[in-house]
A = this chain, B = another copy of it.
Amino acid sequence: MPRNKRHIDRKEKKEEILKAAARLFREQGFASTSMSQLAAAAGVAPNTVYWYFENKDDVLIAVLNNALEHGMQALSIRHAEPLIERGKALLGLLEDYGSLVTTVHALLQESDAIREWHDRFHQIVLSIMTAELINHKIPEAEARKDAWVLMYVIEGLWAHPQSADERELILSQTLYRIGIDPSAPAPGG
Protein backbone atom coordinates (compact mmCIF):
# COMPACT_ATOMS: atom_id res chain seq x y z
CA MET A 1 0.00 0.00 0.00
CA PRO A 2 1.38 3.46 -0.90
CA ARG A 3 2.94 5.29 2.04
CA ASN A 4 1.16 8.57 2.02
CA LYS A 5 -2.23 7.94 0.57
CA ARG A 6 -5.09 8.43 3.00
CA HIS A 7 -2.77 7.68 5.90
CA ILE A 8 -2.10 11.36 6.35
CA ASP A 9 -4.58 14.00 5.33
CA ARG A 10 -3.72 17.06 3.30
CA LYS A 11 -3.40 19.47 6.21
CA GLU A 12 -1.10 17.22 8.18
CA LYS A 13 1.18 16.57 5.21
CA LYS A 14 1.37 20.28 4.40
CA GLU A 15 2.30 20.98 8.00
CA GLU A 16 5.06 18.40 7.74
CA ILE A 17 6.59 20.06 4.68
CA LEU A 18 6.27 23.44 6.38
CA LYS A 19 8.08 22.24 9.47
CA ALA A 20 10.97 20.94 7.38
CA ALA A 21 11.05 24.20 5.43
CA ALA A 22 11.16 26.33 8.58
CA ARG A 23 14.08 24.34 9.90
CA LEU A 24 16.05 24.33 6.65
CA PHE A 25 15.42 28.01 5.85
CA ARG A 26 16.60 29.01 9.31
CA GLU A 27 19.61 26.72 9.33
CA GLN A 28 20.92 27.32 5.81
CA GLY A 29 18.97 30.25 4.48
CA PHE A 30 16.24 30.39 1.85
CA ALA A 31 18.43 30.61 -1.25
CA SER A 32 20.68 27.76 -0.15
CA THR A 33 17.78 25.42 0.43
CA SER A 34 16.69 23.72 -2.78
CA MET A 35 13.25 22.37 -3.42
CA SER A 36 14.84 18.94 -3.83
CA GLN A 37 16.43 19.18 -0.42
CA LEU A 38 13.20 20.36 1.13
CA ALA A 39 11.30 17.52 -0.52
CA ALA A 40 13.85 14.98 0.67
CA ALA A 41 13.59 16.31 4.23
CA ALA A 42 9.82 15.93 4.04
CA GLY A 43 10.10 12.47 2.51
CA VAL A 44 8.55 13.19 -0.88
CA ALA A 45 9.67 13.57 -4.48
CA PRO A 46 10.91 17.06 -5.47
CA ASN A 47 7.86 17.95 -7.50
CA THR A 48 5.38 16.74 -4.89
CA VAL A 49 5.91 19.97 -2.97
CA TYR A 50 4.18 21.71 -5.86
CA TRP A 51 0.99 19.91 -5.09
CA TYR A 52 0.87 21.62 -1.69
CA PHE A 53 2.42 24.97 -2.56
CA GLU A 54 2.32 27.14 -5.66
CA ASN A 55 6.08 27.68 -5.72
CA LYS A 56 9.10 28.26 -3.51
CA ASP A 57 8.03 31.80 -2.57
CA ASP A 58 4.70 30.42 -1.45
CA VAL A 59 6.47 28.04 0.95
CA LEU A 60 8.41 31.00 2.35
CA ILE A 61 5.25 33.01 2.94
CA ALA A 62 3.67 30.10 4.81
CA VAL A 63 6.78 29.80 7.01
CA LEU A 64 6.72 33.55 7.66
CA ASN A 65 3.05 33.51 8.60
CA ASN A 66 3.65 30.73 11.11
CA ALA A 67 6.55 32.66 12.62
CA LEU A 68 4.53 35.89 12.77
CA GLU A 69 1.63 34.20 14.53
CA HIS A 70 3.94 32.50 16.98
CA GLY A 71 5.85 35.71 17.65
CA MET A 72 2.76 37.83 18.27
CA GLN A 73 1.38 35.26 20.66
CA ALA A 74 4.64 35.07 22.59
CA LEU A 75 4.75 38.85 22.81
CA SER A 76 1.17 39.28 24.01
CA ILE A 77 1.86 36.98 26.95
CA ARG A 78 4.52 39.41 28.17
CA HIS A 79 2.24 42.45 27.98
CA ALA A 80 2.86 43.50 31.58
CA GLU A 81 6.66 43.54 31.43
CA PRO A 82 8.81 46.69 30.89
CA LEU A 83 9.20 47.74 27.28
CA ILE A 84 12.93 47.00 27.16
CA GLU A 85 12.33 43.44 28.32
CA ARG A 86 9.64 42.91 25.71
CA GLY A 87 11.88 44.41 23.05
CA LYS A 88 14.70 42.06 24.01
CA ALA A 89 12.31 39.13 24.01
CA LEU A 90 11.07 40.14 20.56
CA LEU A 91 14.63 40.29 19.23
CA GLY A 92 15.32 36.90 20.77
CA LEU A 93 12.37 35.42 18.92
CA LEU A 94 13.31 37.10 15.67
CA GLU A 95 16.87 35.88 15.97
CA ASP A 96 15.85 32.39 14.91
CA TYR A 97 14.46 33.82 11.72
CA GLY A 98 17.19 36.44 11.23
CA SER A 99 18.11 35.49 7.70
CA LEU A 100 14.50 35.64 6.54
CA VAL A 101 14.17 39.43 6.96
CA THR A 102 16.74 40.07 4.31
CA THR A 103 15.38 37.24 2.20
CA VAL A 104 12.02 38.98 2.16
CA HIS A 105 13.63 42.30 1.27
CA ALA A 106 15.66 40.69 -1.47
CA LEU A 107 12.56 39.19 -3.04
CA LEU A 108 10.55 42.38 -2.68
CA GLN A 109 11.07 43.57 -6.24
CA GLU A 110 10.55 40.22 -7.88
CA SER A 111 7.52 38.78 -6.17
CA ASP A 112 4.13 40.41 -5.74
CA ALA A 113 3.11 37.82 -3.15
CA ILE A 114 6.17 38.58 -1.03
CA ARG A 115 5.56 42.30 -1.32
CA GLU A 116 1.98 41.85 -0.11
CA TRP A 117 3.15 39.87 2.88
CA HIS A 118 5.84 42.42 3.66
CA ASP A 119 3.43 45.38 3.55
CA ARG A 120 0.97 43.56 5.76
CA PHE A 121 3.75 42.73 8.22
CA HIS A 122 4.81 46.38 8.44
CA GLN A 123 1.24 47.52 9.00
CA ILE A 124 0.83 45.06 11.87
CA VAL A 125 4.12 45.94 13.53
CA LEU A 126 3.52 49.67 13.13
CA SER A 127 0.06 49.57 14.66
CA ILE A 128 1.26 47.47 17.60
CA MET A 129 4.16 49.82 18.27
CA THR A 130 2.07 52.95 17.89
CA ALA A 131 -0.43 51.59 20.42
CA GLU A 132 2.45 50.69 22.72
CA LEU A 133 3.91 54.19 22.57
CA ILE A 134 0.51 55.84 23.10
CA ASN A 135 0.11 53.61 26.13
CA HIS A 136 3.39 55.11 27.35
CA LYS A 137 1.88 58.62 27.18
CA ILE A 138 3.40 59.67 23.86
CA PRO A 139 0.95 61.91 21.94
CA GLU A 140 -0.56 60.05 19.00
CA ALA A 141 0.90 62.29 16.28
CA GLU A 142 4.39 61.75 17.69
CA ALA A 143 3.81 58.08 18.39
CA ARG A 144 3.06 57.38 14.73
CA LYS A 145 6.41 58.77 13.65
CA ASP A 146 8.32 57.25 16.55
CA ALA A 147 6.89 53.85 15.68
CA TRP A 148 8.62 54.03 12.31
CA VAL A 149 11.92 54.93 13.96
CA LEU A 150 11.53 52.10 16.44
CA MET A 151 10.57 49.62 13.74
CA TYR A 152 13.57 50.45 11.58
CA VAL A 153 15.92 50.17 14.55
CA ILE A 154 14.49 46.77 15.47
CA GLU A 155 14.74 45.67 11.86
CA GLY A 156 18.34 46.83 11.77
CA LEU A 157 19.15 44.96 14.97
CA TRP A 158 17.32 41.97 13.57
CA ALA A 159 19.20 41.87 10.29
CA HIS A 160 22.67 42.43 11.75
CA PRO A 161 24.39 39.91 13.96
CA GLN A 162 25.41 41.69 17.13
CA SER A 163 26.15 40.86 20.73
CA ALA A 164 23.21 40.90 23.14
CA ASP A 165 24.87 43.74 25.06
CA GLU A 166 25.21 45.93 21.98
CA ARG A 167 21.65 45.22 20.99
CA GLU A 168 20.33 46.18 24.39
CA LEU A 169 22.41 49.36 24.34
CA ILE A 170 21.03 50.50 20.99
CA LEU A 171 17.46 49.49 21.79
CA SER A 172 17.42 51.28 25.13
CA GLN A 173 19.07 54.35 23.57
CA THR A 174 16.26 54.46 21.02
CA LEU A 175 13.57 54.19 23.69
CA TYR A 176 15.39 56.79 25.79
CA ARG A 177 15.52 59.23 22.87
CA ILE A 178 11.84 58.71 22.15
CA GLY A 179 11.26 59.72 25.76
CA ILE A 180 10.51 56.39 27.38
CA ASP A 181 12.17 54.99 30.50
CA PRO A 182 13.10 51.57 29.12
CA SER A 183 12.96 49.80 32.46
CA ALA A 184 9.68 51.29 33.69
CA PRO A 185 6.84 48.78 33.91
CA ALA A 186 4.06 48.94 31.34
CA PRO A 187 1.59 51.65 32.43
CA GLY A 188 -2.17 51.29 32.34
CA GLY A 189 -1.88 47.51 32.28
Contacts and interface: CB of A to CB of B under 8 A. Distances in A.
A157 interface: yes
Contact of A173 (B32, B102, B148): B148
Contact of A151 (B32, B156, B178): B156
Contacts of A148: 156, 170, 173
B146 A156 contact: no
A144 to B, nearest CB: 9
Contacts of A159: 105
A145 interface: yes
Interface string A154-172: 0111011000000001100
Contact of A146 (B103, B110, B151, B177): B177
A153 interface: yes
A174 interface: yes
Contacts of A31: 106, 110
A177 B156 contact: no
A153 to B, nearest CB: 5
Nearest to A119: B160
Contacts of A142: 173
Contacts of A155: 152, 156
Interface string A113-148: 000000000100000000000000000001001101
17 contacts: A101-B105, A102-B102, A102-B105, A105-B106, A105-B159, A142-B173, A145-B173, A146-B173, A146-B177, A148-B156, A149-B174, A151-B156, A152-B152, A152-B153, A152-B155, A153-B156, A155-B156
